[in-house]
Structure 1
């Protein structure tokens, strides 16, 4: 579909590297492509019609790839950004990833519940604003991972093995009105996990992320080392099932292998693919090619 119009949405003032890669791939494949800040979208209801503008210029796009909705903000702004995504869908734009999937993937608790209900194993977890409940499970499990309920790139993730330290951390988080997401700690085999990039039902890249010495974090953004992987068909099917369960066209699925079994840790709706690029795989090109095929269906 030549001359299709594609936009990449993010909140950053300067386009992130992944956004630039998508735009480059789209233009090479004959699409008109540009970057748009999500905050610059406006919706107008006039004469019984819903209209979308980039600032004051009418927006007409066949495809919108959402690469980020920004960090913590007020609930009103959070809702508005997703409302803009929904408005694009309602106008007939192919939104990748779709609104419902983005909402679900953004919330770690909702993601885990959805995966569990679809037969995908996830770590034992408690989400609470009750410090007594949090301390009970911290003591029961002995060693826990504490995560922001909304977050990415391994930022704000803590490993805690002391109840007194946990008490002080939980008190501070609750004082900041942050819910506590606490997971039982599992020892990863070889101190690594597996990232599988799935696009339109197909695993297109798989690699281990090995934590640097002295760290439990395997995220490439946190210094994790990338090693090519050849997962079993069972593992690849878990990644595909996880992506489809959340309702995503593409995702980065993080899988942990332990002596207690295999668990899905995260399903990322706007995955960083630096690791895939290190292996010579260009997910931006594959993503745009598969979107073009979807437009032709």
Structure 2
């Protein structure tokens, strides 16, 4: 019986014999059923870029609890030039220790197969490259930097880092690749550096590869950076809510500072980061979250939550694995478009996996419309989602913070529309009504489903969307970066909501200190109990407050 899977785009891509592995295609891996054993995955797809086949193989492996090489964090990191530059700098520092560098050429390449180099003198550098980049097959191109220092050796630099597809491996390197793969198979429990671990609900299971950040002296109070973007058309918190957060922060001796994308290099000067612009794996919000993690400071949303929540394919697999009820869900690719003929019950909802704010979500009334929508979406993503349509007057939104209920609301559908937000062709949009609800008044089965779903994702701040029907409660999505706005999500708790948020940051900071991590942060001489004592209204009292209903800009 195989002890790992080798996943490729086409079986012909893997020309070797691996006695301990089973070679399957990405399409086959996507379709593996619930009963199939979740073996570790060696992802050798041709492309690993955002929303490619290789991207989805690593993403789905993580959602299923399987260990993968490269893991999802490595795939996301490699998509950012800034992170590749960090890796280059780390590797270039090892070049000076290399025992022999080419003297007659101005460029050369090093191939690394599962951490094993094609040139043994670069063993240390190859091992470090594998540790940093966590990718099976890598080519590192070196070139001599221009120098005007006559009589001195010209320094070498890394021109490029490139992940190779298996068919690009020179035949002369076959033995090295097989040796590296065999070594990997011998430790297929994946205890080695850089391999992902099963999801356990913790953001820590996607640790960054650059080691611990340097320590610094503890400050006398908490300085909280809040990342905003003036160009964000539908921000998760508007200026009024951010001002309220700052006001409450002053009561707790917390300085709230708004930062923008241009403030990336200032991040290390803060004690915690709160992201209040729409997140994406492929933009600066992920880089900010990752840098905060590297610096050892608490961050909402953490990189793992951004990866997990911004892709509906991942969430569908994760909910299935965790036994959380969702609408009946199937995946479509270009290879499986024929499955449309099997659809008998309409309407259905078609979703592009990385859509947000009701964008990239369409309803199909019949097979012809389903095919038209799916074909258009498949030009933007390797996989699209088809779900049974569930009609309800509103969606439940349950805010969850650190595994506990944070707020609750009903998001009503727009008038004469099946979604809570309706986009017009000119870019404008209309929204339904938001009705804030005390968490104590939320049906137990709704609250329980929301907490179970959030726990599968992590320990951060989430907005869980659910539909309550006569057939039961179904989780639609788990959102990172949920809306928090004045008179809407905070309508029941008021300032207490912002206090609880700031206290949660304090809890995370204290946990970091107890772990002996990179930062030790405190609120001067003010203890956590002192701060909690300033919260005048108890959670029980707030749970008994009446429901409030408002029109609102909605995420």
Range into which the TM-score falls when normalised by the shorter chain? 0.7 to 0.9
Instruction: Give the match for residue 226 of structure 1.
Output: 434
Contact 2:449 2:473 in 1 (8 A): no
- Aligned pair in 2 of structure 1 residues 260, 2: CA closer, same or farther (>3 Å)? farther
- Aligned pair in 2 of structure 1 residues 278, 160: CA closer, same or farther (>3 Å)? farther
- Aligned pair in 2 of structure 1 residues 3, 239: CA closer, same or farther (>3 Å)? same
- Work out which structure has the larger RCO, using CA pairs closer than 8 Å and 6 or more positions apart in sequence: 1
Query: The residue matched to 2:476 in structure 1 has which SS?
Result: strand
Instruction: Give the match for residue 159 of structure 1.
Output: 363
Q: Please give the per-residue CA displacement for 1:122-154, whole angstroms capped at 9, x wherever unaligned.
A: 1222232226246235x3332111223112222
Please state how far the C-alpha of 1:267 moved relative to its aligned partner. Answer: 0.9
Contact 1:126 1:134 in 2 (8 A): no
Q: Please give the per-residue CA displacement for 1:164-186, whole angstroms capped at 9, x wherever unaligned.
A: 22222223223345642221112
Please state how far the C-alpha of 1:156 moved relative to its aligned partner. Answer: 3.0
Instruction: Give the match for residue 29 of structure 1.
Output: 252
Q: Distance in 1 between matches of 2:283 and 2:415?
A: 40
- 1:8 corresponds, among 226, 231, 238, to 226
Q: Please give the per-residue CA displacement for 1:228-280, whole angstroms capped at 9, x wherever unaligned.
A: 44222232122122212101322111111123321101111101134323446
Instruction: Give the match for residue 509 of structure 2.
Output: 295
1:65 paired with 2:268, answer no
Aligned residues: 275
Contact 1:154 1:222 in 2 (8 A): no
RMSD between aligned residues: 2.9
Instruction: Give the match for residue 277 of structure 1.
Output: 490
Q: Distance in 1 between matches of 2:247 and 2:320?
A: 38
Q: Distance in 1 between matches of 2:447 and 2:463?
A: 12
Instruction: Give the match for residue 237 of structure 1.
Output: 448
Instruction: Give the match for residue 99 of structure 1.
Output: 303
- 1:197 corresponds, among 388, 399, 403, to 399
Query: The residue matched to 2:249 in structure 1 has which SS?
Result: helix
Instruction: Show structure 2 runs of 5+ residues with no match.
Output: 1-218, 423-428, 512-555
Contact 2:357 2:421 in 1 (8 A): yes
The two structures have a TM-score, normalised by structure 1, of 0.79
Query: The residue matched to 1:113 in structure 2 has which SS?
Result: helix
- 2:337 corresponds, among 118, 132, 139, to 132
Q: Please give the per-residue CA displacement for 1:38-69, whole angstroms capped at 9, x wherever unaligned.
A: 4542xxxxxxxxxxx13xxx731211112335
Contact 2:374 2:384 in 1 (8 A): yes
The two structures have a TM-score, normalised by structure 2, of 0.45
Instruction: Give the match for residue 266 of structure 1.
Output: 477
Contact 2:352 2:381 in 1 (8 A): no
Instruction: Give the match for residue 50 of structure 1.
Output: none
Instruction: Show structure 1 runs of 5+ residues with no match.
Output: 42-52
Q: Please give the per-residue CA displacement for 1:91-128, whole angstroms capped at 9, x wherever unaligned.
A: 21111222212211111111222222222111222232
- Aligned pair in 2 of structure 1 residues 91, 141: CA closer, same or farther (>3 Å)? same
**Larger Rg over CA atoms:** 2
Please state how far the C-alpha of 1:211 moved relative to its aligned partner. Answer: 1.4
Q: Distance in 2 between matches of 1:24 and 1:134?
A: 55
Contact 1:144 1:161 in 2 (8 A): yes
Query: The residue matched to 1:175 in structure 2 has which SS?
Result: coil
Contact 1:251 1:267 in 2 (8 A): yes
